[in-house]
Structure 1
Amino acid sequence: MAEQSIAQHELATLIVESLNLEAVSADQIDPDAPLFGGDLGLDSIDALEIALAVSKRYGFQLRSDNPENQQIFSSLRMLSEHVERHRAV
């Protein structure tokens, strides 16, 4: 498993807390593993919860009509990179 960056760990913690993932700790989320359809068992409702948590924490909207969503939500690494590019300073 690849090591998480500080930004990835912060985002992984947000995901675990916002989805109440009791069986998973933030440290266990592989930055390159699929967020959906993988070990975490996340679904489209979880994607909405993550988007809401990200908008509250980082000050920008993850829009459901964004054609890049599949890529953005493909892994913790991709989501973290997107957040870092768009977060309010």
Structure 2
Amino acid sequence: MQSLELEIKELIISALSLEDVAPGDIEAAAPLFGEGLGLDSIDALELGLALQKRYGVALPADSQETRQHFASVEALARFVATQGTQARGEA
């Protein structure tokens, strides 16, 4: 799971053009929005598209579950890992 978390951190940095942020600067359990990384709703849309392209996951914008998945890098990694397993029929 740690390698997936690292991939997601790198994806966040590249998709959102966070020039002064390194993967090590992002705590896996820290909030992505508000206090933690400080992302906003536009960042969420861009990150959602990047996750969709990279991992083929669907993240409906108006879903409460989507908000929970975007809570932290850990939450996103769990979601992506679960979706990948379901897509391969292993769930």
State the TM-score bracket (shorter-chain normalisation): 0.7 to 0.9
8 Å Cα contact 2:55/2:80 also seen in 1? yes
Identity of aligned residues (%): 44
Out of 9, 14, 17, which is 1:12 matched to?
A: 9
Residue 70 of structure 1: aligned partner: 67
Gaps in structure 2 of 5+ consecutive residues: none
Matched, 1:82 2:79: yes
Matched, 1:33 2:30: yes
Gaps in structure 1 of 5+ consecutive residues: none
Post-superposition offset of 1:62: 1.1
| TM-score, structure 2 normalization | 0.86
| Greater share of residues in helix | 2
SS where residue 8 of structure 2 aligns? helix
Q: Let me know the Cα RMSD of the aligned residues.
A: 1.5
SS where residue 14 of structure 1 aligns? helix
Deviates more, 1:69-78 or 1:42-51: 69-78
Out of 36, 40, 43, which is 1:43 matched to?
A: 40
Structure 1 consecutive aligned stretches of length 4 or more whose deviation exceeds 3 Å: none
- Give the structure with higher Rg (CA): 2
| TM-score, structure 1 normalization | 0.88
What count of residue pairs does the alignment treat as equivalent? 86
